[in-house]
A = this chain, B = another copy of it.
């Protein structure tokens, strides 16, 4: 999760004050681009919150959840955190951070979000770990690969990468080729450990 520093040096989630009548999603996209320097490949609206204390007494906060590759450089003052080890946030921001993950997991099987977390070329183990991170639970290796292959979502390349110890892994790339007759989606919600 991308966390920036406030003027007082406290860790806060990226935000902007609302501009009356402006489209919310467009505002969120611009905020992301301003901070990271890149467009967001995937974005989903969160659940508005008015309870819990806000540092500047804002009446209402409208969160958005975006996903992008954390391999991109982080501008000054900001840093990527693992979602299970977040820094101390204000109460309302903490609630939004937790809600964001919930929102993300609700939308999981709708879009191939996990690919957005990875560089253009990746190993299947990395892809599986991305899914496990987003889903919040472990997946079965064989089932994961079978389902993935059946959905024609990833395409093998000729390259192999040696990751230190163990057998080198084949590199794959995202290839969402549409199959006529409606390509079968991957039911990751069915695959368990």
Residues in A lying within 8 Å of B, measured CB to CB: 18, 20-24, 45, 47-51, 57, 59-60, 62, 106-107, 187, 189-190
Asked whether, in the complex, the Cβ of B62 is within 8 Å of the Cβ of A20, the reply is no
CB distance from A143 to the nearest CB of B (A): 16
- Contact sample, A vs B, 20 pairs, CB 8 Å cutoff: A18-B50, A18-B59, A18-B60, A21-B50, A21-B51, A21-B59, A23-B50, A23-B51, A24-B48, A24-B49, A24-B50, A24-B51, A45-B48, A48-B48, A48-B62, A60-B62, A106-B107, A187-B190, A189-B189, A190-B190
**List of B residues within 8 angstroms of A47 by Cβ:** 45
CA distance A53 to B27 in the complex (A): 17
**List of B residues within 8 angstroms of A106 by Cβ:** 106-107
